[in-house]
Amino acid sequence: MEVTVIVGEDEKKMNFEGDKTVKDLLQMMEIPVETVVVKKNQAIIIEEESVEDGDVIEVIKVIYGG
């Protein structure tokens, strides 16, 4: 399975075997789930969403603080 992952200005293709969720993908990239919002094919999704071949996943880092 191949998906396109966009984080900020960086875009890369990722290949992996088997079924994966967005949470699995973030863990593979060492990105904490709590610090991002994820879009799959232009729609905001939750981390339990399945990733499918050809998907475009955009990871948007959330800035927070006081």
Q: What is the pTM of this model?
A: 0.88
2-59 pLDDT per residue, tens: 999 999 899 999 998 989 999 999 999 999 998 999 999 999 999 999 999 999 999 9
Residue ranges making up the domain that contains 50: 2-61
**52: amino acid identity, one letter:** E
CATH, residue 45: 3.10.20.30
Residue 66 inside a domain? The answer is no
Buried b (16+ CB within 10 A) or exposed e, 46-55: eeebebeeeb
In a domain, 54, yes or no: yes
Q: How many domains does the chain have?
A: 1
Domain assignment of residue 36, yes or no = yes
Residues 6+ apart with CB under 8 A from 16: 1, 28
Q: Is residue 51 part of a domain?
A: yes
